[in-house]
Structures are given as structure tokens and as C-alpha cells.
Structure 1
Amino acid sequence: MTSAASSNPSLPKRCCPATPPTSCSSALPADARLPRKGPLMEVIIASTIVPFIEGGGTLIVDSLEHALRQCGHSVCTLKIPFHSDYRVMPRQMLGLRMLNVSASGQRLITIRTPSYLIRHPHKVIWFIHHHRTAYDLWDSPYREIPDDPTGHAYRDLLFSADMLAFREARAIYTNSKVVGQRLLRFNGVGSEVLYPPLMNPEAYRGGKHGDYILYVSRIVHHKRQDLAVESMLHTKTPVRLVIAGKSETQSMRDRLHSLIERHRLLDKVVLLDEWISEERKRDLIAGCAGCLYIPQDEDSYGYPTLEAFHAGKPMITASDSGGTLEIIDHGVNGFIARPEPASIAAAMDELYKDPSRAAEMGEHGRQSIDRLGIRWDRVVEKLLQ
């Protein structure tokens, strides 16, 4: 299999950039490029991470740190390794609870569950999701906590710990309406939506209308790259599909390769199963006819959607993809297909055969970002007000 953009730079050999778990910086007012309202502050950002795995949960942390520094604030970022095995979670949660940073900084901003257990008198939560298998995915095949008295005890513990932290917070923001609705449904807690922008949106650029649809994401079951591959059996144009991202499991990697070979799609589907650098990703987006992002019940609109729109490319999503539906307007800045191969294929064909319409939809995507106020100066103002 070959790349759809062979002129792109080669990838680094490691799977992700080496990032220290804790990083602190002094305020750099001379380098500030974002407008700031209010005084300079010392800010702690805390979030849990899965070591050596990068994705939306780490990007939001890095981007927030970058934005705060651009506003001139002093920032200390705590990236805390956390493993989501329910059997070891209670001990890790206790460790987080014992981490008291009350004497440091004027604001603590916590992001990924359950970093908000850390104590601070001025704690603000930017909530991106629950431990979902204990909440909205409890009655789904993804649940890993057993449905027995022991499992219920673990689940009750998670609920109680979350409620403790929510009561302590001076404000709670969510990354989407979907997540805000879950908070209200399961915890009875109100929140305000605060959409996360990209770190460097100006780096994304438009390019020629290529012959491929691009799906950039971690390759994992709920992102449904397999559905994207199956859709290629139903296309009626020469459109190709490029899937770019690292497989999280060998089984998912094997499944995609098997699908492509079994359906004889080697000439229609390019699988770049590797970590994709930011520069190469931008090149791939610039050269595509449009982008595809069809996760199942996503927590937010997903960074791939913003990346496409900043590059002036339309986005195809699915009607059950959750948070993507908050920004994608069918027929205006993209297509909302049924989560079925034939429907997704029809949307791909439309973008391939009508370059002028695709360009117009991509421009509407840029306008959607402005209309929703997805800007870092607004985010910083909200979190520090």
C-alpha cells in the first residue's frame, strides 16, 4: 500500500513526542499574542493520561497550556498517568485525592476524569467525559465492570467520587452539548459548553481538490474505520479512501487489513497505520476532496472536524456520531450520512464529483467555527473569570 501523498515528509520513528509528565513555565508577557482580560495569574492544569498514547485528551491539555502562556499567564501542567482498569482505579483515585495543591496558584483547571479529585479552593473543571462504561455505556457491549454486587460497588464509588468533586468546583464547563447533557442526566449537574479550539489553526490550509476522502484518527473500534472501508464497496466514482492513524490493537489492525484484502479494495483504500505527524496530517488534509469522521456517539465534534474546516474542507459524519452533529450542518458544511455503507458512499461520491460544491461547503465550515466562537481567547477568559 502506498501513501496518497508520497511527497509528504517522512514520519518520526517514535510513536509520539516525548513529553514530561509535569511542565511549568513562567509568565512570558513579551511573547503574549492572545488578548487578555483580567490580571495575570499562576494557573495549574491537571489531567490524567494514558502513558505513550496521544489523542484528543492530551491535545486539549497542550493547547490550553499554549493559550494560557500566550496570554502571559504562568502555567504548571500536571499530566498524571492513570489506568482505567476498574480494579485499580480506587487506589489511583485516592492518590489523586491526597494531592492537595491548594497553596499553589490562583486557579486549578482539571480536564480528564478523574483529575478533578485534586483539591484546590479555586478549582474549575473542563469536563470532557465520564468514565463512560460506568455511565452512558453501562448497558453496552463496551462495559468492563461486571454487573454483579462487586461491580455495582465499584460503580457506586465512581459516582460518589465524581459528585464530591463536582460539588467542590467553582465552575464546570464541558467540551460539547452531548457531554453537558450526560452530566445533567447522570449527576444532576449543570454546566456550560466551552468548545476546545485547535492549538495552531492558522497552520491548516486549503489545497487542490484531490481524488480521496481522508479519515484521520486513532484506529479503534468505536471510530468505525471498518465501516468506512465497507463503504468503498458502494461508491460509484473513482474516489479513494485514505485512513491515517495508529491502530490501538493488533486485532483492529488485522481486521482492517482483512477487510481491504477480502473485498479486493487495495486500489481504492490506502491504510497509513502509523503515527501521523502534524505536518503530514496537514498535507493530507490540504490535498483531499473532503474528510470523514464517523465515530459512534462521540463526546465532542472531534478535532478532525475542526482540522477539516480550518483547511476549508467539508466533513462527512454519521447520524449517530454524537458531538459532531453540533457543528456539521447537512448539505451546508458537510454531509450527515446514515451509519450504513451505502449512505456514506453516496456522500463520498458527491464530494468527489463536484469540486466547486465541496469548496463552498468547506468555506461554510470555516464560517461555522467563527459563528460558534471557537477561539482560545474566549476559552481562557471563561476558565479564569
Structure 2
Amino acid sequence: MKFLLASSYVPFIKGGGTAIVEWLEAKLLEHGHEVETIFLPFVESMDNMFDQMLSYRLLDLSHSADRLVAFRPPAYLLRHPHKILWFIHHVRAFYDLWGTDYCGLRDTPKNRAFRQRLMEVDNVGLRESSQVFTNSEIVSSRLRTFNNVESEVLYPPVLDSARFYHQDYDPVIVCVCRMEHHKRQHLLVEAMRYTQSNARLVLAGKSHSGSYPRKLKLTVLKNRLQNKVEILDRWISEDEKSQLLANCAAAAYLPFDEDSYGYPSIEAQHAQKAVLTTTDSGGVLELVQDGVNGFVTEPDPKQIAAAIDRVVGTPGLAAQLGQQGPRRMNDLNINWDHVIRRLTA
């Protein structure tokens, strides 16, 4: 079967939104299908967002492949008679983040009108799709709430789970992801002020801008946490990531209302490491069960510190929680064979 994979991207930015497309291409090829992948630029700017969306809509790909699989907004506006969505998030500032501290937009008549028009345009592409999959229950819920569209959850695996392995349980908590305000590494830095164990924290990842890592470093200096916190604000290679996860006691991932469990969470679980997260982390809660394969606390530095001390300071607990990770992923059917079966059904 011939597949065309299409998604948007922000120029010069790599992340989970591009990885899911590239990894699906590799797996479809492994299963004997023909695949072409298209990434089209899209910047979430009110100045020209609808012009960009129109350019997507004008592309008729009807005769290019047997099936089109679309991912990030607004790739679902591309035209094809057998269009499948593996929908991973909305333009969130106008949907679930509207009215929150993470929105960045004022609630004005102009912005409300823009939001309404965006939803109307999105509904065109969403409702003409032959199948709609999502990457999490929370994204399926948002589609149902905002667009009245039903969908099936299809959890995205990592490309090569064998890359992640367990070696030791050193008293280190690692957080490997982009350093951005909504990923909330600041909660972890603040938590280290209150830890009583010998735990250390390693934050690793690249930022869209240098301002957030600078704030984190200033917090470390202000609170004299240099011996407890290490910040690696740069691109982390896959090999380095694997090594960090192999030797830590647990991984932490505390995003605000994440679209899915996030690759950092399942990478840690493949390495047999517990995941520390918070009650408002969104899709991460579909993977992490409190006291089973990690800990879930309120987004409060003192409560996070207590969880860190518990996993580091309780003999055998890190191993006990970590060993539940692969079982939990099996329960959720997080594997490529299942993904390919559903997309080719």
C-alpha cells in the first residue's frame, strides 16, 4: 500500500511532533509499504494563520497515494479521499489553553472571533476524515468537547525501545525534555530546596530560547543548589539520553496538561525507571499510576520533594516501581505492530 504522511512543523524546531511522523515512516517501510513524507511549515501567528491554512487546503493529494495520514494542525485540511488523522493536538492557545496562564492571548472580542473562526475551519478537515485516531484519551476528549468528533486512541511508541536499558539506581532524578516554561522544570528545581535525601537532579534538553534556562540557573544560584542540581541546556543525543536513564533512580516529567504521556515518560519506562509527575500533567496520567510505576503528586515543590526522597531513600522502591513500567506499556498496547494494524485496517 502507498502511504503519504503529512504534517506541519516549525522551522528549525525538532520534537515529538516530527518524531512520530518519521518513526511511523520507518515502521511502515519495515512492514513492506511504500511511503512518502511531507513536512510543511506552519507558524501559529494570528497575522497569517488563515493564509497558511488556505495554502494547505489548496493542495489536492487525491492521486498521490492510497492513504493520507495527517498529524499536526493544519495538515488535516489537505485533500484526499482516504484521509486518516493521527491527531496529536490542536492549536492549543485557542482550545484547551484558552483562558489559562499558558495561553498568551487576551480574552478580547477580536480574539474570541478569531478562535471561533479557527474552530469552524478545523471542523472542515476533521469531519471529512475517514478515520480519526489520537495519541491519548485527553486529546480524544478535547476533540469530543470542542469539535464534536469521536476518535480512537492509538498510543505512539518510541522508534527503538531496545535503545533504553537499566544499569543501576543511582540517587539521581533526571528530566530529559525541552526546557520550556510549560514543561515546568522550575517545579523540580524548587523541590530540591526541600529534599532531605542525597538526591541530585539533572535537567537536560534544549530550549526554544535561552530565557527559561537562564531563570532556572538563577534559581539554582539564588538557593545555593549547585551541588544538588545540574542543568544541561543543550541538545541531548539519543546515546546520552539512554545513559542518563540507565543509571538514574527515576525520571521526572511535569508538563502542564500534556497532550499525551510524552516520549520522556515511556523512554524512562523502557529503562525500567519510575516516572514522577503531577496531578495536572494531562496525558502523562494515562501511563503513570501512583505507587505502581511512579508517583503522582500535586504540582507543589514540597510534595514533589517528598516523592523524590521516597523513591531515592527507600531501599528497593526505585527498582520495584521501575519494573512495572514495561507491564504498564503492555497493558496499554503501546507497540508498533498494533499501530500498523490499525492504520492499515
Q: TM-score, normalised by structure 1?
A: 0.88
Q: Does 2:40 correspond to 1:87?
A: no
Correspondence list, 1:27-106, <5 A: 41-106=1-66
Quote the offset at 1:338 in angstroms. Answer: 1.2
Quote the offset at 1:235 in angstroms. Answer: 0.4
Between stretches 146-155 and 359-368, larger displacement belongs to 146-155
Quote the offset at 1:240 in angstroms. Answer: 0.2
Partner of 1:18: none
Correspondence list, 1:350-369, <5 A: 350-369=310-329
Partner of 2:295: 335
How far does the alpha carbon of each residue in 1:321-380 deviate from its partner, in whole angstroms, 9 at most, with x for none? 111111111111000011101111111111112352211211111100111111111111
Quote the offset at 1:75 in angstroms. Answer: 0.5
Cα distance between partner residues in 1 of 2:106 and 2:77: 24
Structure 1 unaligned regions, length at least 5: 1-40
Partner of 2:74: 114
Say which of 296, 313, 331 aligns to 2:273: 313
Q: Does 2:214 correspond to 1:254?
A: yes
Amino acid aligned to 2:54: L
Amino acid aligned to 2:280: D
How far does the alpha carbon of each residue in 1:67-100 deviate from its partner, in whole angstroms, 9 at most, with x for none? 1111111100001111111221111000000011
Say which of 189, 205, 210 aligns to 2:165: 205
How far does the alpha carbon of each residue in 1:177-202 deviate from its partner, in whole angstroms, 9 at most, with x for none? 01111111111111111100000011
Say which of 270, 277, 283 aligns to 2:237: 277
Cα distance between partner residues in 2 of 1:183 and 1:355: 43
| Secondary structure, aligned partner of 1:252 | helix
Q: Is the 8 A contact 1:289 1:355 kept in 2?
A: no
Quote the offset at 1:147 in angstroms. Answer: 3.1
Partner of 2:125: 165
Between stretches 247-256 and 271-280, larger displacement belongs to 247-256
Amino acid aligned to 1:136: D
Amino acid aligned to 1:239: A
Cα distance between partner residues in 1 of 2:28 and 2:75: 19
How far does the alpha carbon of each residue in 1:251-309 deviate from its partner, in whole angstroms, 9 at most, with x for none? 21221111000000000000000000011000000010110001111110111110011
Quote the offset at 1:146 in angstroms. Answer: 4.5
Say which of 244, 248, 271 aligns to 1:288: 248
Q: Is the 8 A contact 1:86 1:145 kept in 2?
A: no
Say which of 143, 147, 151 aligns to 1:187: 147
Q: Does 2:160 correspond to 1:216?
A: no
Partner of 1:380: 340
Cα distance between partner residues in 2 of 1:290 and 1:147: 40
| Secondary structure, aligned partner of 1:331 | coil
Cα distance between partner residues in 2 of 1:381 and 1:100: 26
Q: Does 2:208 correspond to 1:242?
A: no
Q: Is the 8 A contact 1:210 1:287 kept in 2?
A: yes
| Secondary structure, aligned partner of 2:324 | helix
**CA shift in 2, pair 1:261/1:168, >3 Å:** same
Q: Is the 8 A contact 2:170 2:248 kept in 1?
A: yes
Cα distance between partner residues in 2 of 1:70 and 1:52: 28
CA RMSD of aligned residues (A): 1.1
Cα distance between partner residues in 1 of 2:340 and 2:118: 29
Q: Is the 8 A contact 2:99 2:107 kept in 1?
A: no
Q: Is the 8 A contact 1:313 1:359 kept in 2?
A: yes
Quote the offset at 1:203 in angstroms. Answer: 1.1
Quote the offset at 1:140 in angstroms. Answer: 1.6
Aligned identity (percent) is 46
Amino acid aligned to 2:214: D
Quote the offset at 1:144 in angstroms. Answer: 4.1
Cα distance between partner residues in 2 of 1:272 and 1:355: 28
Partner of 1:8: none
Amino acid aligned to 2:113: A
Partner of 1:126: 86
Cα distance between partner residues in 1 of 2:101 and 2:169: 39
**CA shift in 2, pair 1:363/1:88, >3 Å:** same
Cα distance between partner residues in 2 of 1:126 and 1:171: 9
Between stretches 347-356 and 166-175, larger displacement belongs to 347-356
Partner of 1:302: 262
Amino acid aligned to 2:83: K
Q: Does 2:331 correspond to 1:371?
A: yes
| Secondary structure, aligned partner of 2:316 | helix
Q: Is the 8 A contact 1:209 1:355 kept in 2?
A: no
Cα distance between partner residues in 1 of 2:131 and 2:150: 9
**CA shift in 2, pair 1:135/1:233, >3 Å:** same
Structure 2 unaligned regions, length at least 5: none
Q: Is the 8 A contact 2:102 2:182 kept in 1?
A: no
